[in-house]
Structure 1
């Protein structure tokens, strides 16, 4: 199997305390995401930073978010501090950055074509958050015939209960779940 790492939406606006769209569990996963990231870097495996961006005028945001985005809080707007990937996970040269404006990292992006060009058939997924961007990306990956493993201690949701419910659902479509320690043990020579 040829593996690649997907790190989903680990941006300031979603991770940092006090951020406008903070996902409660995201901050506590930083060290585990970084551990997996460093392992992939050490072994020269492909890394994809999948991030969300919206135009400031709201023209590309989902309909259900439009009103709130325009009247209360703008987030994930390019060239703002909140849109940036958190400092601890900044991409290195040669790592891929995939920009999406929907839940799935595959929808209207070049992710699938790059993965296929690299002959990747297994994805290791980390990031935030389970019920939205992680789930949509994983479901699309399964539909596109990728093997998927989610790293449980490097993936987050607003609550533990939400995370557990999503894990049950995704196990039912063949997704594997490992801790960061289990992944590193399994991938180590």
Structure 2
């Protein structure tokens, strides 16, 4: 049975809702386009965010570090993945690609945690502190990529004691194989719920007034 989402203890984590990922002109949209369109990603994200706002569930933006020309240059062991992102200036600070998509810009009352440098939104950020300060016990995780930042954030959330919901069609990956691995193989090892957007929206609406 799908869990209830009491707005007093539930947050929606919006991971990396940048133009470079979600806009058709974004640098990374070609990576995820096929899978994103297959699962109806953008409409699903709009539905979940709208339902969460209506219910009074806390919206928390979990943004990736925005690249600058010297990003990672003083790191002893940056990963090849990080170096490639820096080289291509993905989510470049001060540029359109590193801005939040127009449909998902932070609104008054939203929380924005400090930027994460690798995959998970928890290490070296204030995300855990923000959630605990606001009495959050359950996190609904949506965003990109299914097998990198979303998975890492959700997995560490479980390790820290949060109830984790992974929304299977509110994310995307570079390939169907990566998407299947993230949703079907990896998510069951840490998520308490693996739901569709329709299931989550129905559960939110059925969890009582804000």
Structure 2: which 5+ residue stretches go unaligned? Answer: 1-5
Shift of 1:159: 2.1
Q: Name the structure 1 match of 2:62.
A: 50
Quick check: 1:53–1:100 contact (8 Å CA) kept in 2?
yes
User: Secondary structure of the residue that 1:148 maps to in structure 2?
Assistant: strand
Q: Name the structure 1 match of 2:127.
A: 111
Structure 1: which 5+ residue stretches go unaligned? Answer: none
Counterpart check, 1:90 vs 2:102: no
Q: Aligned pair in 2 of structure 1 residues 169, 37: CA closer, same or farther (>3 Å)?
A: same
Q: Name the structure 1 match of 2:41.
A: 29
Quick check: 1:4–1:47 contact (8 Å CA) kept in 2?
yes
Aligned residues: 188
Runs of 4+ in structure 1 displaced over 4 angstroms? none
Aligned mates of 1:155, 1:70 — CA distance in 2:
23
Quick check: 1:138–1:148 contact (8 Å CA) kept in 2?
yes
Counterpart check, 1:182 vs 2:190: no
Q: Aligned pair in 2 of structure 1 residues 171, 81: CA closer, same or farther (>3 Å)?
A: same
CA deviations 1:130-183 (Å, max 9, x no partner) are 111011101110110111111112111112321121122221234311111111
TM-score using structure 2 length:
0.81
> Among residues 190, 194, 200, which one is paired with 1:173 in the alignment?
190
Shift of 1:69: 4.6
Counterpart check, 1:140 vs 2:156: yes
RMSD: 2.0
Aligned mates of 2:109, 2:201 — CA distance in 1:
22
User: Secondary structure of the residue that 1:100 maps to in structure 2?
Assistant: coil
Shift of 1:70: 5.5
Q: Aligned pair in 2 of structure 1 residues 175, 157: CA closer, same or farther (>3 Å)?
A: farther
Quick check: 2:66–2:91 contact (8 Å CA) kept in 1?
yes
Quick check: 2:69–2:89 contact (8 Å CA) kept in 1?
no
Q: Aligned pair in 2 of structure 1 residues 67, 119: CA closer, same or farther (>3 Å)?
A: closer
